[in-house]
Amino acid sequence: MNEKVSDDGARVDPTSSRIEDGIKIRARELGFDLVGITTLGMVESAVRFDAWIAAGYAGDMGYLERGAEKRHDTRLPFEGVCSAVVVAMNYGGTQPSGPVARYARGDDYHELMVDRLNELHRWIEDQVDHQIRGKPYVDTGPILERDLARRAGLGWIGKNTNLLNPTLGSFFFLGELLLDLELRADDPFETDHCGSCTRCLDACPTNAFVAPRTLDATRCISYQTIEQKGPIDETLKQAIGANLYGCDICQEVCPWNVKFSRDATEPSFATREVIAGKDARTLGNEVLAMDDEQFRITFRKSPIKRAKLQGMQRNSAVVLGNLRESASSK
C-alpha cells in the first residue's frame, strides 16, 4: 500500500480519509458510548493546570506533576504520534445515591478500557494493512483527557470540572488511543451549556469549588476518602456525611445528568453484591470487621482497592460517627 510522509514526518495513509467512520462504528461495537477524533499538538489548558498545581489544589497527589512536557505537547509520548481517538464509556448515573460513588460500585475500568482500546488499535491496523504505532491512555498518564475530549467534540467542561456531554451527562469514563496515523479531526466542542446554573457549586458540602471550573481537591470528599492517606481533615469530617468512598453530589444535581443519565450497559460496571442495596451504616460496619485478606478478596478488581483496608476503615469510622451524631441530634 502506497504511503506518503507529511511535512512534519508523520505517516499519512491513503485510506485515512475514509477510515474515521469505520473507527467510530468499531469503537461503539466495543462498548464505547462516545467517540471522537482530534489532532495532537500544543495544549493551551496545560498552563492553567500547572497554575492549579502551583496553588496547592492537588494536595498530596504529587504524581500529577510528572510528565509536564507531555501535558503541554501531546505529540511527545512517542515519535510520529499525531492523532487521538477519544472515547467515553458510560458507567451509569441512574442508580440511587449511596455510600460508594457510582463509578466504584463495579469492577475497575482501567484494564477493561485499555484492553478494548488495544483491540481497536489492532482493528485499525487490519484496515490499513500495516503496523501503526499506538498507545492507549485511561486515566494513567500525563494527558489532559478532558481537554482532548473537548477538542474531539465530546462535550464541554462544566463548572464542576467534569466533562459534560449534551446527550449523556457526565457519568462516564474517558480514554484515548494515540496513533501515528493522520486522521481527519472532528470539530471541537466550542459552546458552554452551563449558563448561569450553579447547582453543582452550591451543593458541594465541603465548599471544594474555589470558583467555577476550579476545584480545590484537598477539600473534595473524593480526595479525602480516596487519595488522602493520612487522617481526614477535622474541619471536613462532618461534611463528609455518609460518603464511604468518593462522592457524586456535584454530578447528581447537574440538570444534564438529571435529564440524560443512562443505565450502564457494561456488565463489568454492575454493582457488586457487597455494595448493592446497603446503606453506609451496614457497609461501614462490614468494612470495620474485615481483615486484609477479606478486604482483598471482597474488593478484588474493584476501584475501592485504591483506598486500601486502612483507608476504608478510617472512612467507615468517620461516617459511622457522623451517623451517630445525626441520630442523637434528632
User: What are the catalytic residues?
Assistant: 139
Sign of the Cα pseudo-torsion (192, 198, 199, 200, in order) = positive
- CA nearest neighbour of 187 among 152, 156, 224, 227: 152
Q: Nearest-CA neighbor of 256 among 156, 141, 108?
A: 156
Give the closest residue to 101 by CA, choosing from 318, 327, 306.
Answer: 306
DSSP 133-183: -EEEESSSSS--HHHHHHHTTS-EE-TTSSEEBTTTBT-EEEEEEEESB--
DSSP-derived 3-state class of residue 317:
helix
Which letter does DSSP use for residue 96 in this model?
P
| Strands 156-157 and 134-137, bridge-based pairing | unpaired
Alpha-carbon gap, residue 41 to 12, rounded angstroms: 17
Q: Write the CA distances from 217 to 68, 159, 220, integer angstroms.
A: 19, 14, 5
Distance in angstroms (rounded) separating the CA atoms of residues 169 and 93: 9
Nearest to 159 by CA among 190, 188, 199: 199
- Cα separation of 190 and 329, whole Å? 49
Instruction: Name the nearest CA neighbour of 103 among 266, 254, 220.
Output: 266
Rounded to the nearest 10 degrees, the angle between the axes of helix 308-328 and helix 280-288 is 140
Under 8 Å between Cβ of 90 and 168: yes
As given in the structure block, the three cell numbers for residue 237 are 469530617
